A and B are shown apart, each in its own frame.
Chain A
Amino acid sequence: MTKEYWRWPGSAWASQDADWRRADRITAGVDVGTTSSQAVVLCDGEVYAYASIHTGADFRKAAGAVVEKAIDDTGMRMADIGAVAGTGWGSDHITFAGQILDEVLCHAKGARHIYGREVRTVVDLGGQTTKAILLYDWDRVRDFMMNDKCATGMGRNVEYLCGLLQVPIEEIGELSLSVSEDPEPVSTTCYAFADTETMGLFGRPEYRSDKMTDNEVYASHMFSIAWRVLGVIGRLQPPDVGDVKVCKELGFTGGLAKNPGVTKRIERELGVTALAGRYDPQLAGALGAALLI
């Protein structure tokens, strides 16, 4: 079978220490995104189990499958979950959810849980959308911006690129960081243009004469994604007067948050160091939904 370079590994985890049967309240959050779906199960407000899978073409099936995967081998059944909240692009298809919550709020709430109360700017790097969210000191959204009608700078673009270049998706970010200096970014207006331009770099004289490496090609593309995301962050309402452009307490969420080729470049351009979290940042939406219900 041909290797699927674009395919990131799904995940599942359940606590071996906690006993869900003793919990007074079990809640679950399900985030069905365009590219990936996550479920997080909480027992009395603590993370008990979670899973992350590829969504595929059937949102409804993905919603059920990701919950089943999270509670697999725990003895828990769907009926044991007291309340389910859904969010994400495919939230309308989560028919077993008692409540559908808006995803900006879910990501904000989830990020607070992952990164702690100090996080003020949340940048969700999703499969098809980028969201830059500014929070009040308390758990309310102060302002947010989303990308426009183009998927450049999104996880789906990186998946596609990795398939095209035949580079494993878990490695492309680190590889792109190994260059001594970032080359010019490729197009930032459209991901189809960016991919075409990236492929075009392999045909340039610099590449053919070994003056440009594969990693520099990857760096050029990752830099363009970072630029695109920076444009979204830059539209946020500055939280204060003066030169403050973004709250320094920044946390990334979404699948692309695990790509250092993108996140490190954003941090570098903003002059901040993103907070380190205690859970997988891809879980933020589902975690927030589970906390909010």
Chain B
Amino acid sequence: MNRFKQILDNHQEYAREWKKRVGGRILGYFDTYLPEELAYAAGMLPVRMMAEREPDMISAKWIYSSCYPVKSLTNQLLLGRYDYLDALVITEGCQWMYNAFEVAMNNKPDLLTHYLFFPDHTDAPTSKDLLVSELKVFRAKLEEWSGRAIADDALDNAIDVYNTNRRLLRKMYELRRMYRSVILGSEAMTVMLASQLMDKAEMNVWLEEYLRELEEREPYDDRIRLMLLGSETWSVDLEELVESLGANIVVDDLDNGASYCWNETVALKDKDMALALRYLGRPHSALKDNNWRRRPQRIFELAEDFAVDGALIAKQIYCHPHGLDNYAIWKLLRERGIPFHYFERDLTLPREETRLRLNSFFSMIRPGLTRLAGWHTPMTI
């Protein structure tokens, strides 16, 4: 676990070190709709851009009133923290991220950039063909950047490496699903976020070792089982706070959580179509779910399958996509009798305030299992 934690804590370091070690190019991406396999097959390392808690010196000049993760990404890009990036790609998971991408384009002229149009109407009859044509444009751009064609066997290998990674991450979710889990939510999310920063081939070796360790581990005590919903996460401080109070997040429906690894690419002769189907068929982010509203159903099924006692909905302040689908999700949870607690946060987590609200929520749903912080023994007077 420690090595995954190190990757997450020093999220810039792995890519820098990889570049030095392998000599390849690094492609930064904003949202999880990027078909990473194509970049990987072109010899590039796709790296997820990670928001960070730090004083924001610059972004306000360029972006007003966006969510804090986007401000942080803009700030880091303009401060040169991502100076090791060779390319930057956006698939427009949300419009704020697109703004950050535009700021980077305007200010970093040497950076190779590409806007990959990903249809919002993921289930529309023409979406597959549209995405395939977009992937062909992206593939041509990658070939131009790398100066070589993407060979079929390289793409097959990339698809295989990524599918293996997804299978291993899904196995980790299976261990979370157990009645008495052997893995905590903070550990699982650390692994999940680290996987978006690492070379997947190396990650798979680490992950296999880690899963073997987990299978040997004694399960944790009975804890309140929770589901985490809402905006993407960038750290595990919420998970750790939940655990300190005697609960455990056993499943999530975050864009960079379970949704990132849930489905595999099914082999087809037409590899672009195979990738298009994989990314169009993945569990969708709030922005891509506006037309069909499939997320509530999926959330209910996850809640049922993972036998959760309740759900936490943590939305980033000014996260519009997740603000817009609150209504449908609240309605579903209420109709199905799944207790939930909703709150807004930014890159910081106000510890005391959150502790108080979580304490109250936990004692509401399963009184007696809550470990209230500060359970003192009486002082002798």
Q: Which residues of B contact A96 (CB under 8 A)?
A: 376, 378-379, 381
A287-B209 Cα distance, complex, nearest whole Å? 53
Contacting pair A148 B344 (CB below 8 A): yes
Contact of B317 among A94, A102, A146, A149 (CB under 8 A): A149
A143-B361 Cα distance, complex, nearest whole Å? 8
Q: Which residues of B contact A83 (CB under 8 A)?
A: 378
Contacting pair B343 A146 (CB below 8 A): yes
Contacting pair A102 B376 (CB below 8 A): no
A 52-67 to B, binary, CB cutoff 8 A, 1 in contact else 0: 0000000000000000
Q: Determine whether B125 belongs to the interface, using a CB cutoff of 8 Å to chain A.
A: no
Contact of B360 among A99, A103, A142, A235 (CB under 8 A): A103
Q: How many A-B residue pairs have CB under 8 A?
A: 78
Contacting pair A105 B360 (CB below 8 A): yes
A 152-171 to B, binary, CB cutoff 8 A, 1 in contact else 0: 00000000000000000000
Contact of B375 among A78, A100, A237 (CB under 8 A): A100
Q: Determine whether B374 belongs to the interface, using a CB cutoff of 8 Å to chain A.
A: yes
Q: Determine whether B352 belongs to the interface, using a CB cutoff of 8 Å to chain A.
A: yes
Beta-carbon nearest neighbor of A146 in chain B: B357
Contacting pair B378 A84 (CB below 8 A): yes
Q: Which residues of A contact B377 (CB under 8 A)?
A: 98
Q: Which residues of A contact B360 (CB under 8 A)?
A: 102-105, 141, 144
- Chain A interface size, as a band, is 20 to 34
Interface size on B, residues (CB 8 A): 29
Contacting pair A95 B379 (CB below 8 A): yes
Q: How far is the CB of A259 from chain B (nearest CB, A)?
A: 22
Contacting pair B375 A99 (CB below 8 A): yes
Q: How far is the CB of A252 from chain B (nearest CB, A)?
A: 18
Q: Which residues of A contact B344 (CB under 8 A)?
A: 148-149
Q: Determine whether A13 belongs to the interface, using a CB cutoff of 8 Å to chain B.
A: no
Q: Which among B343, B363, B377, B378 has the greatest number of chain A C-beta atoms within 10 A?
A: B378
Contacting pair B370 A102 (CB below 8 A): yes
Contacting pair A149 B350 (CB below 8 A): yes
Q: How far is the CB of B106 from chain A (nearest CB, A)?
A: 30
Binds B, one of A16-24, A85-93, A260-268: A85-93
Q: Determine whether A79 belongs to the interface, using a CB cutoff of 8 Å to chain B.
A: yes
Q: Which residues of A contact B373 (CB under 8 A)?
A: 92, 100
Q: Determine whether A129 belongs to the interface, using a CB cutoff of 8 Å to chain B.
A: yes
Q: Which residues of A contact B353 (CB under 8 A)?
A: 89, 128-129, 146, 149
Beyond A89-B352, A149-B350, whether A101 also contacts B372 by CB under 8 A is yes
A 131-153 to B, binary, CB cutoff 8 A, 1 in contact else 0: 00000000011111110110000
Q: Which residues of B contact A105 (CB under 8 A)?
A: 360, 363-364
A143-B363 Cα distance, complex, nearest whole Å? 11
A98-B375 Cα distance, complex, nearest whole Å? 7
Beta-carbon nearest neighbor of B356 in chain A: A103
Q: Determine whether A97 belongs to the interface, using a CB cutoff of 8 Å to chain B.
A: yes
Contact of A95 among B342, B375, B376 (CB under 8 A): B376
Contacting pair A79 B356 (CB below 8 A): no
Q: Determine whether B346 belongs to the interface, using a CB cutoff of 8 Å to chain A.
A: yes
Q: Which residues of B contact A101 (CB under 8 A)?
A: 372
Beta-carbon nearest neighbor of B360 in chain A: A104
A89-B339 Cα distance, complex, nearest whole Å? 24
Q: Determine whether B359 belongs to the interface, using a CB cutoff of 8 Å to chain A.
A: yes
Q: Which residues of A contact B339 (CB under 8 A)?
A: 143
A91-B379 Cα distance, complex, nearest whole Å? 15
Contacting pair B376 A141 (CB below 8 A): no
Q: Which residues of A contact B343 (CB under 8 A)?
A: 146, 148
Q: How far is the CB of B318 from chain A (nearest CB, A)?
A: 11
B 22-53 to A, binary, CB cutoff 8 A, 1 in contact else 0: 00000000000000000000000000000000
Contacting pair A235 B342 (CB below 8 A): yes
Q: Determine whether B139 belongs to the interface, using a CB cutoff of 8 Å to chain A.
A: no
Contacting pair B364 A141 (CB below 8 A): yes
A86-B100 Cα distance, complex, nearest whole Å? 46
Beta-carbon nearest neighbor of A131 in chain B: B360
Q: How far is the CB of A199 from chain B (nearest CB, A)?
A: 23
Q: Determine whether B334 belongs to the interface, using a CB cutoff of 8 Å to chain A.
A: yes
Q: Which residues of A contact B121 (CB under 8 A)?
A: none
Q: How far is the CB of B287 from chain A (nearest CB, A)?
A: 21
Mind listing 17 A-B residue pairs with CB under 8 Å? A78-B381, A89-B353, A94-B374, A94-B376, A98-B377, A99-B375, A100-B374, A102-B372, A103-B360, A128-B353, A129-B353, A140-B364, A141-B363, A144-B360, A149-B317, A149-B353, A237-B334
What are the 10 A-B residue pairs with the smallest beta carbon separation, nearest first? A104-B360, A148-B344, A92-B374, A98-B378, A102-B359, A79-B381, A102-B360, A100-B374, A141-B364, A96-B379
Binding site for A on B (CB under 8 A): 317, 334, 339, 341-346, 350, 352-353, 356-357, 359-361, 363-364, 370, 372-379, 381
Q: A83-B378, A96-B381, A101-B372 are in contact. List 15 more A-B contacts (CB 8 A).
A: A94-B376, A95-B379, A96-B379, A99-B375, A100-B374, A100-B375, A102-B359, A102-B370, A103-B359, A128-B353, A129-B356, A142-B364, A144-B364, A148-B344, A149-B353
